[in-house]
Amino acid sequence: MENCVFNTELFQCHHQITFEPSEGFQLHCHNSYEVYHYISGDVSYLVEGRRYELKSQCVLLLAPHVFHGVRIESSRPYERFAIHFHPAALSQENVSLLLHPFQSASSGVGIYFANTELFCISSYFEDILSSISLEEDIRNLAVQIRLENLLIQILHMSRKERGISLAPQNDTILKVLQYLNAHLDQKITLDSLAQKFYLNKYHLNAMFRRSTGTTVIDYLIHKRLANAHQLLSEGITAAEAAERSGFRDYSTFFREYKRKYGIAPSDTVLFYGDKQNKI
């Protein structure tokens, strides 16, 4: 089942093996929940300034709007499973319980489980991906049931094994990250940020890049786009979503949004329960 990808509007699951090292961290931010299951390879994983030392068969839980990414360090086969899903993909009566293991991740960190072999997590991913071969009229139902089975197993695992949440390597950058995430809708410049934290702006940006893998401005753009995407999916107008996400210029917002998502803000899928429409 090499390089297998299964997509719906509410859900994506993939199993991939990569042989090429990457030059830097492949960083991104989205408004879906993610279950990342690392199998093998030489990689570094970065989550909001926290570096995770991955062990084979580990699981990392990521909440929406968490800035994260991986760097492939060598040509040794890098194998992983990953699922991204919207809560509307789940039975609504089960959402709160199934998302419980992600609660700590909602504060902007990843929840890492190192000892997952006893919980056979890989088999749950394989079961989900095997839904591709089912008839169309039962495929979506199978995906929902099998995704919920995976999340039930993760909930069970979280009650048996202690998940780890790392602190950022730099206390100053932790404070900067907390400030940025609390003020996304406000005007923030590198100069104003440096002044607030009593640092030279070039030194601040260099420290920030070492910790997070990117610059302050690039981080803000990723976070604001993810926030705007979330607002749009809830039915907020494009103009209001842009303003509430900190974009002062709509043309800039439109350009950045289309570059990241490949569609105009007005073409974003709108989620109401299990219904999906374009705005």
Beta-strand pair 68-72/78-85 = unpaired
* Best CA proximity match to 220, nearest among 244, 254, 251, 185: 185
Classify residue 267 by its DSSP letter. G
pLDDT at 105: 61
Does residue 125 contact residue 85 with C-beta atoms inside 8 Å? no
The residue written with tokens 């890989």 in the block is 122
Does residue 46 contact residue 27 with C-beta atoms inside 8 Å? yes
What percent of the chain shows pLDDT beyond 70? 92
Q: How far apart are CA 73 and CA 45, in angstroms?
A: 11
Amino acid at 208: F
Higher pLDDT, 277 or 105: 105
- For the sheet containing 68-72, what is the strand order? 26-28, 68-72, 43-47, 50-52
pLDDT at 227: 92
Question: Over the stretch 86-117, which tens digit does the pLDDT of each residue have?
Answer: 999 999 999 999 999 998 665 667 899 998 99
Question: Over the stretch 162-202, which tens digit does the pLDDT of each residue have?
Answer: 888 776 678 899 899 999 999 999 999 999 999 999 999 99
Q: Is the pLDDT of residue 204 over 60?
A: yes
Q: Is the pLDDT of residue 258 over 90?
A: yes
Question: Over the stretch 50-91, which tens digit does the pLDDT of each residue have?
Answer: 888 889 999 999 999 999 999 999 999 999 999 999 999 999
Q: Is the pLDDT of residue 272 over 50?
A: no
Does residue 121 contact residue 38 with C-beta atoms inside 8 Å? no
Question: What average pLDDT does the structure give for the chain?
Answer: 89
pLDDT band for position 274 (cuts 50, 70, 90): very low
Q: Walk me through the domains of the chain, giving residue ranges and CATH numbers.
A: 4-160 (2.60.120.280), 171-278 (1.10.10.60)
* Cross-strand partners of 278: 269
